[in-house]
Structure 1
Amino acid sequence: MSDMFSTLGRYFEMPTVRYALIVGLLIALCSSLLGVTLVMKRFSFIGDGLSHVAFGAMAVATITGVTNNMLIIMPVTVCSAVLLLRTGSNTKIKGDAAIAMISVGALALGYMLMNIASQSGSGRTSGNVTADVCSTLFGSTAILTLSIADVWICVGMSVIVIAIFLIFYNKIFAVTFDESFAKATGIRSDLYNLLIAVVIAMIIVIAMNFVGSLLISALIIFPALSAMRVFKSFRSVIICSVIISLLCAFFGIIISILAGTPVGSTIVSADIIVFFIFCLTSFILRRGK
């Protein structure tokens, strides 16, 4: 036990490890705040779809040699969030079909572009395109990859996400539970649905380099689902979801440091374990009544 703590102490003396912990906790916090709304509104798959779009945008940024790939990834992902929302509500293509169409198309296009760039030697892809794709989809296998610039970008965007959620909490609450009633009371529900989609796009872009594009939706969905097994009120579910997300992120990062496992996969595994614990707790509570 003492060896484990001494090992952790040596790791936390490294700035990059502290950066990873800060970014991981901020991503967990932002993901859990909007996760409850997405699950209750049956928008869960929008996170998965947008994460695939972000992967395609990153592939384009990589092969074109853009120094700051956020300049491409952020606007493309946000525009896709708007497009998905409008496509799901205003056209003959239903929301789930639109998400599947856009996400699969972006994923296939992104992989094809990275493969072509690797074979031609253009852009900034390495010769090992499989490693590049795996790192992008599932997160980096090394925890010591974040720079101080990454941390400040994450902090700034997280502050924006948290501020939006707190400022518009009552409106988000109303739109989440009864959109028809919210419209009747004068709340512009379409505008707040759009705001939710844009914020989720921002969260996905923040988290992509850390946990990978395929695992982001798990960070959004699992804490909310776990909290909803036991708690019923909107506020208590959000608070519990935030606590679960932060704890899973913290212990996932610690375990990944000690065991040398991928950060994103370890955090998601912790979320899955907590989900089953809460399911068991819910079952016991129901049997006890």
Structure 2
Amino acid sequence: MMELLQNPFMQRALIAAVLVGITAPAIGIYLVQRRQALMGDGIGHVAMTGVGLGFLLSTNPIWMATLVSVVGAVVMELIRWYGKTRGDLALAMLFYGGMAGGVMLINLSDAGSNANLTSYLFGSLASVSDSDVTAIVLLAAFVVLVTVGLRRQLFAVSQDEEFARVTGVPVRFLNLLIAVTAAVTVTVAMRVVGLLLVSALMVVPVAAAQQITRSFKVTFALAVAIGTAVTLSGTVTSYYQDVPPGATIVLLAIGVFVALTALAAPLARRRARALRAAEEAEAACTLRVPEARAGDEVKV
């Protein structure tokens, strides 16, 4: 273990893994509540154009991918508002065009190659640089600030937009904020998990936590804990076993989901028994005592 921590590239990879494990489920829980579980996948396709532009313009691909992803997320949200029956087709054009544009731009650039493309699609621990870590830290701080600081408003919008609008919550602004935050999270995670697998890390830890939790607060905390655990475990496993980090992390997350799903049924039965016992005890305590008749004497 000490050997792992002494390698500079693994130190950077572990820092990135922790931040990805925190941020992906933190925004993913709102996407799951909104039934937009695949939004991260779509943004990942669009982010490829940003990566390609980064190589073509000789700038940091993470910052360029962030910019393009944010623009793409805003366009996706506008299509959701105004697209109506043609919205699905427009989104498909955006997703596929983003992926194709990224591949083309990377191959047109002098610094780009198929190896660069693979590292961004599926993640690469060895390629995480100091500048990448700096960008990931700053972007992750934004995601945490939004998802934790505005959790009440974001939860209200994710649960029932109409009710939130009636109560005076700025629904459209918060919808855009969720989309932008999801776009930022995709670029945070792409160096560790990869653009094609980042959506799984947004969704699977949340789905796993929901198997055994009931409240939003507990689900949020458990999903973040699961995300952090699987990203760290997957990163360490990929170092020692020489396996792809993104695939390892996602498979570990799915394994946790299967395990918690298996535990959910016994826990549900236990809760049901406890609830019945509580109801029976309450019923026994509230049995009415027969009232005294008018002619009965009451002794003190």
TM-score interval, normalised by the smaller of the two chains: 0.7 to 0.9
The reply to whether residue 125 of structure 1 matches residue 112 of structure 2 is yes
Paired with 1:186 and 1:92, the residues of 2 have a C-alpha distance of 25
Q: 2:69 aligns with which of 61, 68, 77?
A: 77
Alpha carbons 2:23, 2:185 under 8 Å: kept: yes
Give the equivalent residue in structure 1 for 2:220: 238
Alpha carbons 1:65, 1:124 under 8 Å: kept: no
Alpha carbons 2:208, 2:257 under 8 Å: kept: yes
CA offset at residue 260 of structure 1? Answer: 0.9
Paired with 1:70 and 1:258, the residues of 2 have a C-alpha distance of 27
Give the equivalent residue in structure 1 for 2:120: 136
Structure 2: unaligned runs, 5 residues or longer: 273-300
Q: Compare 101-110 and 249-258 and name the one that shifted more.
A: 101-110
CA offset at residue 257 of structure 1? Answer: 1.3
Alpha carbons 1:57, 1:76 under 8 Å: kept: yes
Structure 1: unaligned runs, 5 residues or longer: 1-7
Alpha carbons 1:52, 1:106 under 8 Å: kept: yes
User: TM-score of the superposition, structure 2-length normalised?
Assistant: 0.85
The reply to whether residue 57 of structure 1 matches residue 44 of structure 2 is no
Q: 1:232 is matched by which residue type in structure 2?
A: R
CA offset at residue 218 of structure 1? Answer: 0.7
Q: 2:39 is matched by which residue type in structure 1?
A: I
Q: 1:20 aligns with which of 10, 13, 37?
A: 13
Q: Which of these two proteins has the greater Rg computed from alpha carbons?
A: 2
Give the equivalent residue in structure 1 for 2:261: 279
Paired with 2:17 and 2:70, the residues of 1 have a C-alpha distance of 22
The reply to whether residue 88 of structure 1 matches residue 80 of structure 2 is yes
Q: Secondary structure at the match of 2:192?
A: helix
Residue correspondence of structure 1 range 104-123 to structure 2 within 5 A? 104-115=96-107, 117=108, 122-123=109-110
Q: 2:7 is matched by which residue type in structure 1?
A: M
Q: Compare 277-286 and 170-179 and name the one that shifted more.
A: 277-286
CA offset at residue 109 of structure 1? Answer: 2.7
Alpha carbons 1:223, 1:242 under 8 Å: kept: yes
Output the aligned Cα RMSD.
1.8
Q: Secondary structure at the match of 1:230?
A: coil
Deviations 1:136-169 (A, max 9, x none): 21112xx232222222221111112111222211
The 1:20–1:60 alpha-carbon spacing in structure 2 relative to 1, beyond 3 Å, is same
User: TM-score of the superposition, structure 1-length normalised?
Assistant: 0.88
The 1:95–1:218 alpha-carbon spacing in structure 2 relative to 1, beyond 3 Å, is farther
Q: Give identity over the alignment, percent.
A: 33
Alpha carbons 2:234, 2:248 under 8 Å: kept: yes
Alpha carbons 2:62, 2:135 under 8 Å: kept: no
Q: 1:198 is matched by which residue type in structure 2?
A: V
The 1:96–1:278 alpha-carbon spacing in structure 2 relative to 1, beyond 3 Å, is farther
Alpha carbons 1:65, 1:123 under 8 Å: kept: no
Q: Secondary structure at the match of 2:191?
A: helix
Give the equivalent residue in structure 2 for 1:4: none
For these two proteins, the number of residue pairs brought into alignment is 271
